[in-house]
Structure 1
Amino acid sequence: MGGEDSQILFILFSGVFLAAVMATFVVAMVILHRQRQVQNKQKVEQLKVEFEKTMLNIENEIQQETLNHIGRELHDNIGQLLSLSKLYLGSSKPERQAEGKELISKTITEVRSLSKSLNLDWVENLNLEEFIQEQLDKIEASGYCKTEFVANHLHWEPSKEQKMILIRVIQECLNNAIKHASPETITITLDSSGTEKFIQIKDDGKGFDSSIASTGSGMTNLKKRMETIGGKFHLQSIPGKGTEIKLLLPV
């Protein structure tokens, strides 16, 4: 009986020990799971804060650029229209007075257009292809270099937030090409690849060694901005062979 009692006690102690081990394992897994939940929640909150901060910066940049544009228009365009209107309306000739009234109407239309641009709601109705073509037309009109635009009809309608990020990133990429690349041609292509749609910005300018880490924050900021809308920023450049940038977004 003594041997049987020992076996029973051993089985009982073994069972208790295994139960304790299992309970410890379960508790550890629960604690680990909760820790991961907290970490994931913190990560989501951090991403949300970064997104809101990025969008606020973008809005401020667009508004500042809009104000600069309005200032130039008021000085160069509206001011000239009003001066001519005053001159024509002060004329004794009926045809000149009629021209003055037409200029006043044109001025009112121009002012209304400028006032609408103060509200960022215009971004929501912005056509991305038209925006890109407009940016390239401005570069070519300045005589700086030639431009090309290739848009494969993707029927792509980014959200307002995506468009706000994209227009600023595209503008910055074009500004960098103008300031540093000295290209003969800048080409922008809209296309898709697999599960992603992309905007390719390519120039045939000076280029640089993109394998060397940049000391500036410009490219890092562009990369982070694309990441806030679930996108990617890829840059490839070779000295003497130009630069290629791809802005990728999931379909």
Structure 2
Amino acid sequence: MKITILGCGPSAGVPLIGCECSVCLSSTSKNKRTRASIAITTDAGKVILVDASPDLRQQALACGLRRVDALILTHAHADHCHGLDDMRSFNYLAHDAIDLYADTHTLDEVRERFSYVFTPHDLRYGWYKPQFHCHNLPDHVAMTSIADVHVQTFMQHHGSVNSLGIRIGNFAYSTDVKSFPEASFAALEGLDLWIVDCLRLQEAPTHAHLDLTLAWIERLKPKRAILTHMGHELDYDVLNAQLPKGVEMGYDGMVIEVL
């Protein structure tokens, strides 16, 4: 299985518009962060996209993403689903609708926000809008077959809303999380790789900050942890050199092989 970090940035990306801090002005490519998303390539060659960020087109071109067999939306915040219209490019390449997985609240939000997507589609005019087969995911620890692999989903608290974490084998992805129910901690045990939220240095109301993320890592002890959804306070060269062994910052375009 191969994990590609398409984007590891916060809701506004890095650099921020109008910001002149050292990270936003940095020439270091690993300080350029598009909105958070990953692509999972299974051993059979199928691709599961986790979240459709507003930067999806740019991310797909940068990473050579040409196929999506399934899309999982972790929640309905704009930085995780407002690239939905760009999914039509993958419809065109596959000549088919794509399986879309999300919890009931997220699907309801998406259907309201992108109502045009869910009206009848006349293919005589081509793939002028995306097409999906929608599937409900439970908002508790559960196993679902997605793109022919077993995907475990679990609840994460993200301020006033919840998000979904996902686990496939010994890999897990936890973006946009402030706290976990105990059942979700149990679902995160025994990991080889955990890609996990870390917005900034100071405490944040809806996201994990560095000390909290490191405390989770110390509790769960994954073999390798990679930080994502990182804001402009986190300088790649500075912070990455200070992190504990087995913990590192992610970057756009990063590829990780998971056995």
What TM-score does the superposition give when structure 2 sets the normalisation length?
Answer: 0.27
What TM-score does the superposition give when structure 1 sets the normalisation length?
Answer: 0.27
Which is richer in helix? 1
Greater gyration radius: 1
